[in-house]
Structure 1
Amino acid sequence: MSRTPMALLSPADQERLRGLRRMKAVALGALILMAALFVVAFWLRDQHPWLEYVRAAAEGGMVGALADWFAVTALFRRPLGLPIPHTAIIPNRKDEIGRTLGEFVETNFLSGDVVRAKLSTAAVSRRFGEWLREPAHAERVAAEASTVASAVLRALSDDDVQDLIADLAREHLVEPDWAPSAGGWLQRIVEADAHRGAVDLAVDSIAGWLDANAHTFSGLVSRRLPGWVPKLAHRFVDETVYHEAVRFVAAVQADPQHPARLALDGYLGRLAEGLQHDPAVRDRFEGAKSALFDSPRVIALAAQAWETAKTGMLNALADPQSGLRRRAASALSEIGERLASEPALQARVDGWVTDAAVFLVDRYRHDIASIITDTVEKWDAAETTEKIELMVGRDLQYIRLNGTVVGAMAGLAIFAVAHALIPGI
């Protein structure tokens, strides 16, 4: 009988306990009935000889009931508390039972052939696709994935992420020597005249700025003239400088072979050559690159970028109506539709799932089965006995009841045969 208070048991265990108690009462009632029949038959056998048959049946029923009571009780505890060998089997051999159960599961269930045979007929991808293509299910998966992703983002330390970004940037951006590669790219750009578009854009931008900012030339040069120069000359000098700048830029715009353009081409070509072959130029370039990445402003900008990205991701993941969540749910629904309707895709996915499951089972079957062994070993012997008795004890009480009936029939049959074959009995 369970020693755990009824209130501490789960509803399912409470129902099992009530069923176990009922069956124990029935089995005990059958034994008491056999004992009462035996007493009555033994007492009245001289007046009614036919009661010998009843006595024999009752005697056999009592023997069968007691024998099966002993057998069932010996599984869980010592009958009547007596130290009889090979009793209290479950509490005494709990660890061995756990190991045997683990070996049984490992051998008969955690087998690559068993898993492959089961999954080959399960149509996993098609069933999953039919379930996933429903918009409500796709939204549910997207919501669960968003919850997990949000938890991961919140668990990440901002300092650790920034340090990781800095380490990755230093490993892949700062430490590698960019100069030869940059020089090679620049050389190919110049040789292909691919830089002309950028030059045109720069010249056009300068022309537009000059057109909109003529006032900035007021005093640009004239303030540096001697004080005795008339004010009229100051204005003339500033306007002359402005108009010359405008004419120069216009000339550069109009002439693809303008000396300024050719000078820029020559400079870019020399820069490309220096980046590839001149150690001094390469050192200056790498120094400028390192100074840029190590700049406090760049570091602060990277930290701010991470904070902004993290906040944006968390907000998008938390909002069911965000574009991210809607696109994720739509993509999942489309994946489900394809899995449900494309046999070729189903075959590939089923193959991947089966191969992955077989690999995991073959590689970790012992570790998986050891969960059973280790769990049973950690259980208290009395607790283990209670758990098992609640699960199977009710069915075992039928053994006692059946033993009573079979014993009675056997006793009656033996007495009847003996009475028929041996005179005087």
Structure 2
Amino acid sequence: MERMERTKTDLATGAQGGPAAGTAASAVVGFTFNEADEEKRRGVRRMKTLATCLLLAVALIYALAKWAGAAGAGAWAGYVAAAAEAGMVGALADWFAVTALFRRPLGLPIPHTAIIPTKKDQLGQSLGDFVGENFLSGEVVRQRLRKVGIGSRLGRWLAEPEHADRVTAELSTALRGALTVLRDSDVQAVVGEAITRRADAQEIAPGLGTMLEKIVADGGHTRLVDLVCARAHDWLVLHSDSVMSAVAGGAPGWTPRFVDRKVGDRVYKELLRFVTEMRDMPEHPARGALDRFLTDFAGDLQSDTDTRARVERLKSEVLGRGEVQDLIASAWGSVRAMMVAAAEDEHSELRQRARGALLSLGKRLAADDRLQGKVDGWLEGAAVHVVTTYRDEITLLITDTVASWDAEHTSKKIEAHIGRDLQFIRINGTVVGALAGLCIYAVSRALGG
């Protein structure tokens, strides 16, 4: 623990020592030892002690066996000495190999030792290349995704009502968050500019002419004419005095008033009769004239240059009015409020339709092999595109990350995680060396050596 505290103190001191020290400190922050790392290091030390004790034990056995052989104890002493001698050799060789991974044995500048501290950057480069070649190749990614069968799994998952509810809730939360983050003024400006630009770029007269021509041909305008005639009749019935006063007010000043009233009454009755006939007679001549007028106007909208130019000027004037721009801008506020309210309401039509669409999609995906193949193909293509496009960036991230690590702390961190298993190599080397030495000595004796 004292060593760990000293490490933390060194990092804090380095962070205060200027840009270079700050860079070094940031490089080792990721390797600050926590309690779990310290526990692993204690385990490594215990295994080192065990392996060293075993080495000392075979050394003691070797010394005793040699003494016994010199004292005439018998042939068995030679066998024991040979086994112990080979065990010492195996233990020392494996101690050297394990130690050389992390530091220079006995501090001696022996070539090809302290491999991890001195070859850290090369190891990072090799690791990046290995990951890029064996994990980030397009074919590997495609085969792996094909084995997973994401389409069918996703279908079965979405077909469950609780999962569809969960996805709907998450989508609603994301929608509310997006609408909250967006600034109304920015969205209104974008929408207004997009609508205005699209309207300016697109001539509307031919489209209006085609639509009007189809409406007239299908008789779709007759209901509007019926409504106008009915409302005009009702208005004339209720405002007869207004009509007669208007006619009388336009008469010359020298005509007698009773004549003006007679003329006004006559005009009112004729006008009421005309509107009543138009309302009640589908084949009224005025209706036919209106149909011909609308048909001619529809043709002019499509082919007459002057009419089309007038419509375009009118369109520009309308779009340029402040009231129209304010209406376009305010439409976003209404749409936003409606969408937020629908997203927050669990029983809203929007969420219910989204839930139903997810369930339907899940059932189709679970049952339709062709649709599963399409989804799998889309996902494979997207994944392969990402991997092949950004493979260098991903491997560079691995290489640069390893390069930024402090060599000493990297070595200690790795040793804390794998050092315990490496000490078994020393133990196995001692045992295997002793057995090999015993076998070699026995064979030599058998052959008369």
Q: Same fold (TM over 0.5)?
A: yes
The alpha carbon displacement at 1:306 in A equals: 0.6
Please tell me whether residue 30 in structure 1 is matched to residue 50 in structure 2.
no
Q: For 1:305-316, what aligned pairs fall within 5 Å after superposition?
A: 305-316=331-342
Q: For 1:177-196, what aligned pairs fall within 5 Å after superposition?
A: 177-190=203-216, 193-196=219-222
Distance 1:231 1:13 in 2: 113
The alpha carbon displacement at 1:121 in A equals: 3.5
Q: What does the per-residue CA deviation read over 1:38-66, in whole Å, with 9 as the maximum and x for residues that have no partner?
A: 44445555444544443433332222222
The alpha carbon displacement at 1:363 in A equals: 4.8
The alpha carbon displacement at 1:250 in A equals: 0.8
The alpha carbon displacement at 1:296 in A equals: 1.4
User: Alignment partner of 2:111: what SS?
Assistant: coil
Q: Which residue of 1 aligns with 2:149?
A: 123
User: Which range is displaced more, 276-285 or 9-18?
Assistant: 9-18
Cα–Cα, structure 1 residues 226 and 40, in superposed 2: closer, same or farther, change >3 Å?
Answer: farther
Q: For 1:81-160, what aligned pairs fall within 5 Å after superposition?
A: 81-160=107-186
Distance 1:390 1:242 in 2: 107
Q: For 1:26-425, what aligned pairs fall within 5 Å after superposition?
A: 26-42=50-66, 45-47=69-71, 48=73, 50-190=76-216, 193-210=219-236, 244-418=270-444
Identity of aligned residues (%): 47
| Native 8 Å contact 1:2 1:17 kept in 2 | no
Unmatched segments (≥5 aa) in structure 1: none
Cα–Cα, structure 1 residues 251 and 29, in superposed 2: closer, same or farther, change >3 Å?
Answer: same
User: Alignment partner of 2:148: what SS?
Assistant: coil
1:335 alignment partner AA: L
1:128 alignment partner AA: L
Cα–Cα, structure 1 residues 160 and 121, in superposed 2: closer, same or farther, change >3 Å?
Answer: same
Work out the number of aligned pairs and report it: 423
Q: What does the per-residue CA deviation read over 1:298-334, in whole Å, with 9 as the maximum and x for residues that have no partner?
A: 2212222111212222233234443322332232122
Distance 1:3 1:230 in 2: 122
1:285 alignment partner AA: V
What's the TM-score, normalizing by structure 2?
Answer: 0.78
| Native 8 Å contact 1:57 1:412 kept in 2 | yes
The alpha carbon displacement at 1:243 in A equals: 5.1
The alpha carbon displacement at 1:135 in A equals: 1.6
What's the TM-score, normalizing by structure 1?
Answer: 0.82
| Native 8 Å contact 2:159 2:363 kept in 1 | yes
Q: Which residue of 1 aligns with 2:18?
A: none
Distance 2:49 2:423 in 1: 9
RMSD: 3.9
User: Which range is displaced more, 153-162 or 206-215?
Assistant: 206-215
User: Alignment partner of 1:86: what SS?
Assistant: coil
The alpha carbon displacement at 1:69 in A equals: 1.6
Cα–Cα, structure 1 residues 258 and 19, in superposed 2: closer, same or farther, change >3 Å?
Answer: same
Cα–Cα, structure 1 residues 213 and 374, in superposed 2: closer, same or farther, change >3 Å?
Answer: farther
Q: What does the per-residue CA deviation read over 1:345-400, in whole Å, with 9 as the maximum and x for residues that have no partner?
A: 33443344344444544555444444433332333333433443344333222211
